[in-house]
């Protein structure tokens, strides 16, 4: 028997047209992956299945290959925890040095050739400060902690700008570095409206994420500032396209597919940051099912075996 805060939750498919809940639990021993199989009926009923933000006592469970398999649990209140257990309600935060480095990179004008384009980008950010500095970057897979959005944005800017500089040397006028830098900084700005940290330090999506989506909020802010700020319309249009296309594919909730070199640069930079974040999150929680489901989502036909071999290798290393 142990007690835990449910800080991550995603529905996943299992064989036989069934589904299961995949969880991240924070216990006194640290983060732990967990699952509840064969879910049916009202899968959001907290009496039947643990829900994101719940405090639970796991009464019956066993250790599976991918983590803890929950068989019986009961709901708890904060008052049920003893003093030594209260820290499980404290959410993870970005590493201070990494967070500061990301902030310095994002707010520096050094990634822009035109000062006016940098000023436009900073104006877009103003509405969401200080939320932008503290918001999480995702729910369960990558950068899902306080300050995670800033860290993710800094990584995307770093990767995108470096590739833009290299590609501009080869392609000259066919790529604009300032479009890449502005789009990298603003691509997930809408998450300030749609992601939040709950009472147990877990990350949740608001109804607005499901009904509208963070890409739409990001685009709306860019359009709002672009309607009155002294920048060319072509620049606003190109940044908007990059932001709306940065998920890459319609099945990944991309509004459009990338149709410019800048948009492709942003898409792959975002992929690198999110997938690398997925791997790091996997290594912290040892939740290899997340890696297999999320990292492999990019292209299973040539990535599957390599990543599965890596999962097996890491399981062997942590079990040995």
Residue 299 has what pLDDT? 45
* Domain 96-278 bears CATH identifier 3.90.1070: no
Query: Domains of the chain: which residue ranges?
Result: 2-89, 96-278, 286-319
pLDDT in tens, 52-88: 999 999 999 998 877 899 999 999 999 999 998 998 8
Question: What is the structure's pLDDT at 243?
Answer: 98
How does pLDDT run across 192-224, given as a tens digit for each residue? Answer: 999 998 888 888 888 899 899 999 999 999 999
pLDDT tens digit sequence for 132-190 = 999 999 887 789 889 999 999 999 999 999 999 999 888 777 899 999 999 999 999 99
pLDDT-based confidence at residue 276 (cuts at 50, 70, 90): confident
Selected residue with higher pLDDT from 62 and 278:
62
**Measured between alpha carbons, how far is residue 289 from residues 12, 20, 253 in Å?**
10, 12, 22
The neighbouring-strand residues paired with 6 are 25
pLDDT surpasses 80 at 310: no
Q: From the options 3.30.70.360, 3.20.20.140, 2.40.50.140, 3.30.230.70, give the CATH code of 2-89.
A: 2.40.50.140
pLDDT higher at 204 or 46: 46
pLDDT at position 173, please? 79
Per residue in 86-119, pLDDT tens? 988 888 889 999 999 999 999 999 999 999 999 9
The DSSP call for residue 65 is T
Instruction: Look at residue 202 in the predicted model and tell me its pLDDT.
Output: 83
16 pLDDT higher than 90: no
Confidence of residue 258 (pLDDT cuts 50, 70, 90): very high
Rounded to an integer, the average pLDDT of 293-311 is 44
Question: 2-89 and 96-278: same fold?
Answer: no
């Amino acid at each position: 028997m142990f007690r835990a805060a449910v800080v991550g939750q995603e529905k996943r498919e299992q064989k036989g047209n069934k589904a299961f809940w995949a969880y991240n639990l924070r216990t006194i021993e640290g983060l732990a992956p967990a699952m509840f199989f064969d879910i049916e009926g009202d899968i959001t009923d907290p009496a039947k299945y643990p829900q994101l933000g719940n405090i639970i006592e796991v009464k019956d469970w066993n250790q599976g290959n991918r983590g803890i398999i929950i068989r019986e649990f009961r709901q708890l209140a904060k008052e049920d925890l003893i003093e030594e257990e209260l820290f499980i309600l404290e959410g993870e935060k970005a590493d201070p040095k990494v967070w500061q480095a990301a902030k310095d990179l994002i707010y520096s004008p050094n990634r822009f050739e035109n000062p006016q384009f940098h000023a436009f980008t900073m104006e877009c950010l103003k509405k969401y400060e200080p939320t932008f500095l503290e918001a999480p970057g995702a729910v369960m897979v990558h950068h899902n902690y306080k300050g995670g959005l800033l860290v993710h944005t800094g990584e995307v800017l770093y990767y995108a700008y470096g590739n833009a500089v290299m590609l501009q040397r080869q392609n000259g006028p066919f790529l604009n570095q300032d479009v890449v830098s502005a789009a990298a900084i603003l691509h997930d700005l809408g998450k300030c409206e749609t992601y939040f940290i709950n009472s147990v330090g877990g990350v949740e999506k608001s109804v607005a994420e499901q009904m509208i989506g963070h890409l739409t909020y990001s685009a709306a802010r860019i359009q709002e500032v672009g309607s009155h700020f002294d920048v060319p319309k072509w620049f606003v249009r190109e940044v908007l396209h990059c932001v709306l296309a940065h998920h890459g594919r319609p099945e990944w909730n991309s509004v459009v597919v990338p149709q410019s070199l800048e948009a492709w640069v942003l898409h792959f930079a975002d992929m690198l940051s999110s997938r690398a974040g997925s791997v790091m999150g996997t290594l912290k929680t040892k939740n290899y099912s997340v890696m297999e489901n999320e990292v492999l989502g990019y292209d299973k036909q040539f990535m599957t075996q390599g990543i599965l071999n890596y999962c097996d290798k890491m399981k062997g290393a942590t079990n040995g």
